[in-house]
Amino acid sequence: MKLYIVSNRLPVKVSEQEGRLLFARSEGGLATGLDSLHTDYEKHWIGWPGFCPDGEECRRKTADELEALRFHPVFLTAGQIADYYEGYSNSTIWPLCHYFFAYTRYKASYREAYRAVNRLFCETVCRLAEPGDIVWVQDYQLMLLPGMLREARPELEIGYFHHIPFPSYELFRILPERAEVLRGLLGADLVAFHTHDYMRHFISTVERVLHLDFRLDEVQLGDRVVRVNALPMGINYDLYHGASQKPEVRAAVERTRRLFGSHKLVLAVDRLDYSKGILHRLWGFAAFLEHHPEYRGQVTLAMVIVPSRDHVGSYAELKTHIDEEIGSINGKYSTMDWTPVCYFYHGFAFEELAAMYCVADVALVTPLRDGMNLVAKEYIATKTDNPGVLILSEMAGAAVELSEALQINPNDIGQIERSLVEALTMPVGEQRRRIRDMQRTICTQTVDKWAADFLEELDATRRKNERLRRK
Ligand code: G6P
């Protein structure tokens, strides 16, 4: 039996240079997390390869190379990228789901492109999937797809996972196409979220917009039920926990230590996104340096920002503000042998990132809103000999499981400042105890367990629906 994972992006990003195709890993929690998933099913992936090939021959070449890896590309035009990806997905749905209401843009061309691209994905799935196969749709870029598939191929087993927050009814009701989008999601047999809160918001929104009644975690639609659940996504725990044993990571640890010398290292790693609270974090760090001169020259903030969606206006503006803020902190406090913020505007290879996790005394993970946040889990998992402290926003889905982190409200700049002092003065014994407690949770709730739980529940729903149809 085949499992088709369907997501906007494939876990590989293709580009073309002088007629040669180059393959790189995609960024973002979803692609990284799901790519390391092990399952008994024959795993196939359907998604956009991250570029628009020029001409039929280039398309065919790209498709052939990807299909050999069981990656099935959906090619999008530059216009579709502008209206479906940068438009409806990332200028309408993303800000709405992250409570950035003022950033939402509504345009007829966005909504039409979103429908057309979801339809294109539907056609690709229909071409490939056979009866008995499982189709697992991922994330907000494809919310209409489960409904389209249910109509075209009612016999398929369809699951949907929402990787970002599902907002309260008061926010979601603002969306002009709210009913169409909810009906799209209800095409799935199972709709799942990272936390109970997101699930609760979804149930209440469906009840109030579509006037359907849930019985606990199920809603009946004709001769079938749709089940909802909260299943927090995990990471490939062994990969991170074993990282410090790898020679390449050890070598990178030495390089990282040399770079930061005897300074304490505070680490922040994010995709460029206003939901990540990057500016608030910089304001918090500036306040910390301002009010605690004893830490000047002693603590460095390593800020890793992975470029993302920089053609969307709000992202491009944010980038400018971040550059300015970092420039202003460094301009004010740098000395001949210390730069307060060490800024990297690019991603890192796994070994380099794992080395930074190993060395960092503090991880500052302070999103204003985040569906889950896997960086927080990766940092904790990587820790072995050298302890450290996780400062974590209450607004990240990960806060539910990582209760031993120093949890803060990222809107409170004073709290960011105080938590840095608390982290830097925390006794080593307490650091170790907190890390151990959190590792105990995340070492069992891995990405494989998450997927297995999802697929098991999806199967239980399918069996229930078969019984209902036989009645
Ligand atoms: C988040 C979303 C994913 C998305 C990723 C990267 O993790 O939940 O669906 O793929 O960000 O964003 P991008 O727009 O570059 O695919």
How far is the C-alpha of 66 from the C-alpha of 375, rounded, in Å? 28
- What's the chain's average pLDDT? 95
**According to the model, what pLDDT value does residue 29 have?**
62
Best residue among 161, 308, 369, 370 to mutate for probing ligand 1's pocket (most ligand atoms within 8 Å of CB) is 308
How far is the C-alpha of 165 from the C-alpha of 167, rounded, in Å? 6
**According to the model, what pLDDT value does residue 117 have?**
98
Neighbours of 360 (CB within 10 A): 25
Q: What is the pTM of this model?
A: 0.96
**According to the model, what pLDDT value does residue 26 have?**
81
Predicted confidence band at 16 (pLDDT cuts at 50, 70, 90)?
confident
User: What SS3 string covers 241-262?
Assistant: HCHHHCHHHHHHHHHHHHHHCC
Q: Does the structure show a pLDDT above 80 at 34?
A: no
Predicted confidence band at 98 (pLDDT cuts at 50, 70, 90)?
very high
Percentages (nearest 5) of helix, strand, coil residues in the chain:
50, 20, 30
99-122 tens-digit pLDDT: 999 999 999 999 999 999 999 999
Predicted confidence band at 19 (pLDDT cuts at 50, 70, 90)?
confident
6 lines ligand 1 (CB under 6 A): no
What own/partner pairs with CB < 8 Å and gap ≥ 24 does 430-435 have?
431/387, 431/388, 431/389, 432/387, 433/404, 434/389, 434/390, 434/404, 434/405, 435/380, 435/383, 435/387, 435/388, 435/404
**According to the model, what pLDDT value does residue 28 have?**
62
**According to the model, what pLDDT value does residue 469 have?**
86
For residue 138, the SS3 value is strand
* Ligand 1, atom 14: closest residue by C-alpha: 309
Cα 383 → chain centroid: 22
Predicted confidence band at 379 (pLDDT cuts at 50, 70, 90)?
very high
277-306 tens-digit pLDDT: 999 999 999 999 999 999 999 999 999 999
H/E segment holding residue 135: strand 134-138
**Averaged over 222-234, what is the pLDDT?**
96
Predicted confidence band at 471 (pLDDT cuts at 50, 70, 90)?
confident
Q: Does the structure show a pLDDT above 90 at 17?
A: no
**According to the model, what pLDDT value does residue 256 have?**
96
Cβ-contact 38, 77 below 8 angstroms = no
**According to the model, what pLDDT value does residue 80 have?**
97
With b for 16 or more beta-carbon neighbours within 10 A and e for fewer, the 125-149 pattern comes to beeebeeebbbbbbbbbbbbbbbbb
Tokens matching residue 383? 């820790």
Lowest mean pLDDT across 39-53, 313-327, 374-388 = 39-53
**According to the model, what pLDDT value does residue 185 have?**
98
Q: Does the structure show a pLDDT above 90 at 422?
A: yes
338-374 tens-digit pLDDT: 999 999 999 999 999 999 999 999 999 999 999 999 9
How far is the C-alpha of 77 from the C-alpha of 84, rounded, in Å? 10
Ligand 1 atom closest to 85 (CA): 14
Q: Distance, CA 33 to ligand 1 centroid (Å)?
A: 11
308 lines ligand 1 (CB under 6 A): yes
162 lines ligand 1 (CB under 6 A): no
81 lines ligand 1 (CB under 6 A): no
Q: Distance, CA 139 to ligand 1 centroid (Å)?
A: 9
H/E segment holding residue 6: strand 2-9
40-90 tens-digit pLDDT: 889 999 999 998 888 888 899 999 999 999 999 999 999 999 999 999 999
Q: Does the structure show a pLDDT above 90 at 31?
A: no
* Ligand 1, atom 1: closest residue by C-alpha: 28
Cβ-contact 192, 435 below 8 angstroms = no
User: For the chain, what percent of residues have pLDDT higher than 90?
Assistant: 90
Predicted confidence band at 233 (pLDDT cuts at 50, 70, 90)?
very high
How far is the C-alpha of 149 from the C-alpha of 125, rounded, in Å? 8
**Averaged over 305-319, what is the pLDDT?**
95
